[in-house]
Chain A
């Protein structure tokens, strides 16, 4: 079964501190892995996208890593800010190949709820 598991379910960190979120997946065949940030009551916003050959990708204070062999990814938040309070969702794309096209089917994790306190 194609699954995406995230941990922890939630965490609270002090402003200025670092934190790391984990994502394990069993999706196959693998196309790419994405991390999204979702503010309360809003739609998700893409942070990073990594394909099989990439093992790290940064977007400002967000750094994602990917180990395609162990099917694990992490998202590291450096020097957290109050605005980082959100749900962070790991999404893995399955690859479908047709005779004339190819596309990805997305499998979403349940997200990690991050709360940054002053």
Chain B
């Protein structure tokens, strides 16, 4: 069964360092999402791509976070510099399209980030 791949699974970094997360969506999925999930809370959307274009990045802290999906396939989320409050699970999800109102989001296993 096709899955959304994310790496690394775990990342420990020090404050002010740069970190990067990678996501490979299910083949053929045009829409890709990056979420941040703090322990005990629901996921919060950071950025949404339709192919290589950003559809929604209204909640992305652009002073330190950046995301790209250059060829409309895999994607990278970067944080520079990392802060203590960035410690969270970073989830990537993909779906066939945003146009179909009943489309299903498929989530990856996530990257657990700890900032020391």
Contact = CB atoms under 8 A, between A and B. Distances in A.
Interface string A93-109: 10100000111111011
B108 A46 contact: no
Contacts, number: 56
Q: Does more than half of chain B's interface fall in helix, strand or loop, or is it mixed?
A: loop
Interface stretch (A13-21, A37-45, A58-66, A72-80): A37-45
Contacts of B91: 43-44
A44 B93 CA distance: 9
Interface bracket on B: 20 to 34
A32 interface: yes
Interface in B51-106: 55-56, 91, 93, 98-99, 101-102, 104-106
Contact of B45 (A42, A43, A89, A106): A106
A31 B101 contact: yes
Interface residues of A, number: 25
A49 interface: yes
Contact of A104 (B40, B41, B42, B98): B98
B43 interface: yes
Given A43-B93, A102-B99, A49 B42 contact: no
B56, B101, B107 interface centre (most CB from chain A within 10 Å): B101
Contact of A46 (B42, B45, B105): B105
Contact of B43 (A46, A95, A108): A108
Given A44-B43, A49-B104, A101-B99, 19 more contacts: A31-B101, A32-B102, A41-B109, A41-B110, A42-B110, A43-B4, A43-B93, A43-B109, A44-B107, A49-B102, A51-B102, A93-B101, A95-B101, A101-B98, A103-B55, A104-B98, A106-B45, A106-B105, A108-B43
Interface of B: 4, 40-45, 55-56, 91, 93, 98-99, 101-102, 104-110, 112
